[in-house]
Amino acid sequence: MIGLGCPALLNYIGIFGEVSRCSWKDKIREEHPTGKNSINEWPPVKKTGSTSQGDKIMKTILGIIGSPRKLGNCEITIKAVSREISQPHELKLIRLADFDIRPCKGCYACLFKDTGCVIKDDLTLIQESIIDADALIVAAPTYFLGPNASLKCLLDRGLSLYAHIDRMWGKPAVGIGIAGIPEKEGYTLLGIQSFLKFLLAEVKATTIMYGALPGEIFFNSENQETIKQLASSLFEKTSEKKEPVCPVCGGDTFRFLENNRVRCMLCSNAGTIEMKAETPKFNIEPGATELFLTKEHAIRHKNWLRGMKARFLENKDRLKKISISYLKDGVWIKPPQKVN
């Protein structure tokens, strides 16, 4: 058994029971707040001219901006990655804050109707843009040690995407989290990884960059190389992730439990941790219920959700009896009535 007093282990994990992101990833993750280059040397200027690409197929890349700030670091970073992509493509952009995305009602109607979600807002336009794209670039800022809530707001409506699993599955994607204070990104990267996984994308690479002021990320010369790596990875064959990561999903954020047990915070599978050559090794196996590891898992999850209707009908009297017993508890605080 590896004790918490083991110096090698303490290099990798924090206080017992806390959720910790492994910070010993390769250089694409190791961002620093300073650099030697001048801002005038970066970013490169995109060539203008004819969009004709001969016999090459023009791809559509969708940039999803999880920041309300216009021309902020998230928007600039997505455009910088696009400039470094060698394949002919058209970059389309969505700023989530521009759209009316309302909370999911949990009615499951979208699982049974071809017409999609019953809520009349802007979700359909966003979904169609994701479905029509060949690849995705997602960027979100860190708010209170987590990604901007616009990502989760969209993801919470994700059940309606299950009607399009075949068209959604396996789109290549990269993600970037932006944090204003070095080493204070919290779970931002985990949130972006989860967002992409539940969009059924093939996550090629994710990274954190540091910069609070618009454009400040380009003060760091290392970020220039990171952007090039993100661009080149988007349409390349996925390379095997280096240890230590979850062997099931490739995640690098874990909750440390008792008796050397751990749980991956991306796929939520549990296992054990051991040290090999002073490097943590996670022994994790897929669980009985998986959500996004394969297309078959996504379809199975969709069918499980649809099966909830039969379970409800079978138990509705019992469920009603439990729920109604709490009907009159508490005093509701509600917003003032709006006047048209």
Tens digit of each residue's pLDDT (9 = 90 or more) over 282-328 = 999 999 999 999 999 999 999 999 999 999 999 999 999 999 999 99
Instruction: Give strand pairing partners of 284.
Output: 271
Residue 149 lies in a domain: yes
Residue 295 lies in a domain: no
Residue 194 lies in a domain: yes
Number of domains observed in the structure of the chain: 1
Residue 232 lies in a domain: yes
Residue 152 is predicted with a pLDDT of 97
Residue 182 lies in a domain: yes
Residue 221: helix, strand or coil by DSSP? Answer: helix
Instruction: Output the average pLDDT for the chain.
Output: 85
Residue 142 is predicted with a pLDDT of 98
The pLDDT confidence band at residue 54, using thresholds 50, 70 and 90, is low
Residue 173 lies in a domain: yes
Please give the span between the terminal C-alpha atoms of the chain, in angstroms, as a whole number: 66
d(CA 225, CA 45): 16
More confident residue, 19 or 58: 58
Residue 238 is predicted with a pLDDT of 77
Residue 134 lies in a domain: yes
**Alpha helices, DSSP H only, in the chain?**
7-10, 73-84, 123-132, 150-155, 165-168, 188-198, 221-234, 295-306, 308-324
Domain that holds residue 207: 27-45+55-241
The pLDDT confidence band at residue 239, using thresholds 50, 70 and 90, is confident
Residue 318: CB atoms within 10 Å: 9
Can you read off the two tokens belonging to residue 167?
A: 């068209």
Tens digit of each residue's pLDDT (9 = 90 or more) over 12-44 = 333 334 444 444 344 344 333 333 333 344 555
Contact 25, 57 (CB under 8 A): no
- Cα-Cα-Cα-Cα dihedral sign, residues 267, 269, 273, 277: negative
d(CA 21, CA 187): 8
pTM of the model: 0.82
Q: At 168, which CATH number?
A: 3.40.50.360
More confident residue, 103 or 277: 103
Residue 273: CB atoms within 10 Å: 20
Residue 5 lies in a domain: no
Can you read off the two tokens belonging to residue 306?
A: 């649809």
